[in-house]
């Protein structure tokens, strides 16, 4: 379905009737799929999300229909080859040989579309542009998984391949604080949303969790001030919805946040966590914060973490530092045994 978005305009010129027939088949399948999986929440990261938003196929179909109604024109990405259309038309034409497509491929060869999380409000009129940009970002994250430094480098250059009015870029704006995600698509927030979408993908993330953590660290190093604020805003918006979040995703986010904070001197806006102190011990938000702080203690030491926290948040950390839990312990030993041990 994502391929049709990019190839739709060329396919329409070759045979619009066949393209429309394929769309009809997809619509029928999505309709049946939606009815069968109406109550399925096993792959839904945020259970308070609207039902329509939880069905990735239905969301994709709505994007495809919007692009089809616009003549399959995608204005998000630059097409520099159009400037040489006349030269190409006069060039020698070659007939391409027939290509034999494989009947089936290993599951690892397929691009699995994640459920893109919406962590900040976006203008509804830019839905198609947002998806195209996030698909572009997601493809970069997948292809450059082997090198987080290169991935971070090229991620921050993607906006240069797009038309100027497609999205706002905080890193190049004269006044980044004036860029509002509610009135325009903000590139940095889309990068954060793709990153957390991959991290919270169910039933398991596509790559190791540490990849997404190290990638976020490299992104912040590239743009320390702006990316720090963007990632913190994204985390705050996720934490606010922790009660409706899948438990597995909540645990992954806790791991991600602990390692991320530990790489930047354990600096965080801890004052935002003060409201969790008054909550009951078994509430999801308080549990999440306690687990994250416990992991920070293990990455550092108890007294240092206590010094970073406001007085009101100290009770969220353990009273005693965590210790080893040995399966076999010796209550008493003679001097010779003590020396050997």
pLDDT of residue 114: 60
Residues 125, 219 share a domain:
yes
Helix axes 56-69, 2-36, angle to 10 degrees: 130
Query: Is 121 within the bounds of a domain?
Result: yes
Number of structural domains in the chain: 3
Instruction: For 307-327, write each residue's pLDDT tens digit.
Output: 988 888 888 888 887 777 766
Q: d(Cα 109, Cα 111) in Å, to the nearest integer? A: 7
Q: What percent of the chain has pLDDT over 90?
A: 22
Instruction: For 247-293, write each residue's pLDDT tens digit.
Output: 898 999 999 999 999 999 999 998 888 888 888 888 889 999 999 99
Q: d(Cα 143, Cα 111) in Å, to the nearest integer? A: 11
Query: Is 39 within the bounds of a domain?
Result: yes
Radius of gyration of the chain (CA): 25
In CATH, what number is assigned to the domain containing residue 237? 1.25.40.180
Residues 242, 166 share a domain:
yes
pLDDT beneath 70, residues of the chain: 33-55, 105-115, 174, 326-341
In sequence order, the β-bridge partners of residue 162 are 77
DSSP labels, 59-116: HHHHHHHHHHHTTT---SB--GGGGGHHHHHHSPP-PPPP----S---GGGS-PPP--
Query: Is 101 within the bounds of a domain?
Result: no
pLDDT of residue 136: 87
pLDDT of residue 271: 87
Domain that holds residue 161: 113-246
pLDDT of residue 40: 47
pLDDT of residue 152: 93
Residues 58, 143 share a domain:
no
């Amino acid at each position: 379905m994502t391929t049709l978005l990019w190839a739709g305009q060329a396919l329409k010129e070759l045979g619009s009737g066949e393209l429309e027939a394929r769309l009809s088949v997809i619509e029928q399948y999505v309709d049946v799929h939606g009815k069968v999986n109406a109550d399925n929440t096993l792959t839904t990261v945020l259970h308070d999300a609207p039902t329509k938003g939880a069905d990735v196929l239905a969301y994709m179909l709505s994007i495809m229909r919007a692009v089809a109604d616009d003549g399959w024109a995608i204005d998000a990405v630059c097409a520099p080859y159009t400037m040489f259309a006349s030269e190409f038309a006069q060039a020698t034409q070659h007939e391409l040989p027939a290509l034999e497509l494989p009947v089936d491929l290993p599951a690892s060869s397929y691009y699995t579309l994640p459920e893109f999380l919406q962590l900040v409000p976006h203008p509804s009129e830019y839905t198609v542009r947002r998806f195209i940009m996030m698909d572009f970002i997601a493809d970069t994250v997948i292809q450059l998984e082997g090198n987080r430094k290169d991935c971070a480098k090229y991620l921050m250059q993607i906006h240069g391949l797009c038309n100027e009015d497609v999205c706002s870029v905080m890193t190049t704006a004269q006044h980044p604080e004036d860029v509002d995600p509610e009135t325009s698509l903000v590139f940095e927030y889309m990068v954060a949303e793709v990153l957390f979408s991959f991290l919270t993908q169910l039933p398991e993330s596509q790559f190791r969790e540490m990849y997404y953590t190290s990638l976020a660290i490299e992104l912040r190093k590239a743009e320390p001030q702006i990316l720090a604020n963007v990632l913190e805003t994204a985390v705050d918006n996720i934490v606010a919805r922790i009660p409706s979040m899948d438990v597995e995703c909540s645990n992954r986010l806790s791991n991600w946040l602990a390692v991320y904070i530990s790489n930047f001197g354990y600096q965080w806006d801890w004052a935002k966590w003060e409201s969790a102190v008054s909550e009951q011990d078994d509430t999801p938000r308080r549990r999440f914060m306690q687990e994250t702080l416990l992991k920070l203690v293990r990455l550092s030491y108890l007294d240092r973490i206590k010094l970073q926290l406001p007085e009101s948040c100290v009770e969220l950390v353990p009273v005693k530092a965590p210790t080893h839990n040995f399966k076999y312990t010796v209550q008493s030993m003679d001097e010779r045994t003590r020396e050997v041990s």
